């Protein structure tokens, strides 16, 4: 894989309507727009990765960043005080938005390189990147970019998903939305013993892939185990596992299909029997409050399959806000 250069901030290509028609026009809830060479003094940078050519079934996640940014009934004024805490995480953390990475439709390698460059640039500037996807392929360059700053093997990855995404290849391609976690483990960016997966269910992957995961010491919480243990216990164990061995922090990846499709239909590979909306919101807020968050992404939000009320987009938007609220509470 291409190794990003953190000194190339001025060369990071960002998208606009001039380049790709599905690029986001607005910032996340109206936070200030910034250029990569002028990120300001804040702690968090939002960027979009409108990429869905790693999708194996229903496409459309390229429109996810735009939908997540806009999904709110309030003014786009960059101000969102949290009802339980009274904290405005957008202002408290100085959140800014640098727009979407200029991905190239159909070009996997170029697009992955550009996403990795952008994330590495943000992380290298001492900021926490929050990436709006896009299909789950992007977690490979996202976490890789963070590893360029914080060290390969030096942080944990907590992964909410219906699927393990640890396949060796998909449709004969090593880069796809079913393979990013294996790529991260094979590259050493995030070793298996620092992976925690929450919400797996259904009929994929095959037993031999699950055996590979077990050999690499991945910690897996299927939905049936979550039901038996209780979600609070699972999060307790996830926090303990993520901090073991001196990990510097955590990257959190949320595939929206971890939530039951009855509540979040706007995704490409829906799997019945998932978490509830309240479950995921409470979980990500707690994790970002109790752990040192180095980066996060929210992926597989596909607006063409959302409900008439855009409930999946609204949930994805609130997942980002709850991550930010947890960070603000931690500070």
CATH of the domain at 120: 3.40.800.10
Residue 13 forms part of a structural domain: no
Q: Given this model, what pLDDT does residue 6 score?
A: 45
Contact 275, 260 (CB under 8 A): yes
139-150 vs 108-124: helix crossing angle, rounded to 10: 40
Tell me phi and psi for residue 100, to 5 degrees: -95, 145
Structural domain boundaries, residue 180: 18-330
254 DSSP β-pair partners: 160, 298
Nearest to 190 by CA among 233, 247, 237: 247
pLDDT tens string for the chain (331 positions)? Answer: 434 444 454 466 776 556 677 888 899 999 999 998 899 999 999 999 999 999 989 999 999 999 999 999 999 999 999 999 999 999 999 999 999 999 998 899 999 999 999 999 999 999 999 999 999 999 999 999 999 999 999 999 999 999 999 988 777 787 779 899 999 999 999 999 999 999 999 998 999 999 999 999 999 999 999 999 999 999 999 999 988 889 999 999 999 999 999 999 999 999 999 999 999 999 999 999 999 999 999 999 999 999 999 999 999 999 999 999 999 999 9
Residue 226 forms part of a structural domain: yes
DSSP 138: G
Residue 206 forms part of a structural domain: yes
Residue 105 forms part of a structural domain: yes
Residue 50 forms part of a structural domain: yes
Establish how many alpha carbons lie within 13 A of residue 323's alpha carbon, considering only the half-sphere containing its beta carbon. Answer: 28
Residue 2 forms part of a structural domain: no
Residue 119 forms part of a structural domain: yes
* Domain tally, the chain: 1
Q: Given this model, what pLDDT does residue 44 score?
A: 98
Residue 72 forms part of a structural domain: yes
Nearest to 293 by CA among 124, 146, 84: 146
Q: Given this model, what pLDDT does residue 106 score?
A: 85
Q: Given this model, what pLDDT does residue 18 score?
A: 60
Q: Given this model, what pLDDT does residue 77 score?
A: 97
Q: What three-state secondary structure class fits 234?
A: helix
């Amino acid at each position: 894989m291409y190794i990003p250069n953190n000194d190339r901030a001025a060369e990071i290509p960002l998208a606009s309507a001039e380049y790709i028609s599905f690029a986001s026009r607005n910032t996340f809830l109206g936070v200030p727009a910034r250029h990569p060479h002028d990120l300001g003094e804040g702690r968090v940078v939002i960027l979009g990765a409108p990429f869905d050519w790693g999708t194996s079934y229903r496409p459309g996640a390229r429109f996810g960043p735009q939908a997540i940014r806009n999904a709110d009934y309030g003014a786009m004024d960059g101000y969102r005080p949290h009802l339980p805490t009274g904290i405005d995480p957008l202002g408290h953390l100085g959140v800014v938005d640098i727009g979407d990475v200029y991905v190239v439709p159909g070009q996997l390698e170029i697009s992955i390189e550009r996403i990795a460059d952008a994330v590495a640039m943000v992380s290298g500037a001492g900021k926490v990147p929050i990436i709006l996807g896009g299909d789950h392929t992007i977690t490979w360059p996202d976490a890789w970019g963070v590893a360029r700053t914080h060290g390969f093997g030096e942080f944990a990855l907590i992964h909410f998903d219906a699927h393990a995404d640890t396949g060796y290849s998909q449709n004969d391609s090593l880069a796809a939305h079913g393979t990013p976690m294996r790529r991260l483990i094979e590259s050493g960016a995030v070793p298996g013993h620092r992976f925690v997966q929450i919400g797996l269910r259904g009929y994929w992957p095959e037993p031999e892939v699950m055996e590979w995961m077990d050999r690499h010491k991945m910690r897996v919480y299927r939905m049936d185990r979550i039901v038996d243990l209780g979600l609070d216990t699972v999060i307790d164990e996830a926090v303990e596992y993520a901090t073991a061995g001196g990990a510097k922090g955590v990257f959190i990846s949320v595939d929206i299909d971890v939530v039951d499709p009855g509540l979040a239909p706007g995704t490409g590979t829906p799997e019945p029997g998932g978490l509830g909306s309240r479950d995921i919101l409470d979980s990500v807020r707690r994790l970002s409050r109790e752990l040192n968050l180095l980066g996060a992404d929210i992926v597989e939000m596909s607006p063409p399959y959302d409900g008439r009320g855009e409930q999946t987009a609204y949930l994805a938007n609130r997942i980002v806000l709850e991550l930010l609220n947890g960070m603000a509470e931690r500070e």
